[in-house]
Amino acid sequence: MTMQSKNTWFTTTLILICLTIFMGCASKKDDLLKEALIAKHDNRQTKSQDISAINTHVFSSARMSSDPGDYLLGAGDLIEVTVFESKDLGTTVRVSSRGYVTLPLLGPVLVKDLSAEEAEEKIEGLYRKTYIKDPHISIFVRSTSARGSLLSVRWQIQGLMTSPANNAL
């Protein structure tokens, strides 16, 4: 072999080896890139599934409160409690100053700051626990107490103020 053919053969072989190595590295880089993308996609799916699971848990365990427009029972309210299929347990009762009503068989039950619907559910649960297999309770608010808010006013009046008085001796 001539010197020139040896150089050509060596150069060609060297180029083929370099291309093979480069292609091998490129495929490894592609594989690594694919794995990274797959892991990232899986991680996004996992995060999405985790968020979905958390949302489901939170919303299912949250106690749905009554409509903000619902009237909340308070001291002095007169309510009619009806227990269907048991006229003896129905009663009309006034909410005490501490927020309790006294019901047949149950005794005092706290209803302060509950809507009528929430109070129905509470009383149903109490009757179901001990006395009635499947109670159906209805609460009707007969009258409400005049609960107002405290208003503090400061007057600055100069001069003599008189008030009507009973001057009889």
Decide: helix, strand or coil at residue 102: strand
Closest CA to 84 of 109, 120, 117: 120
Q: What is the pLDDT of residues 101-120, one digit of tens each?
A: 999 999 999 999 999 999 99
Question: What are the structural domain ranges in the chain?
Answer: 8-54, 78-143
Please give the residue that has the higher pLDDT: either 26 or 69. Answer: 69
Residues contacting 25, CB < 8 A, separation 6+: none
Q: Residue 168: its pLDDT value, please?
A: 37
User: DSSP secondary-structure letter at 164?
Assistant: -
Q: Indicate the pTM of the whole model.
A: 0.49
Q: What is the pLDDT of residues 1-53, one digit of tens each?
A: 666 666 676 777 777 676 666 655 555 566 666 676 666 666 666 666 767 77
CATH classification of 78-143, choosing from 3.90.45.10, 3.30.1950.10, 1.10.390.10, 3.20.140.10? 3.30.1950.10
Decide: helix, strand or coil at residue 135: coil
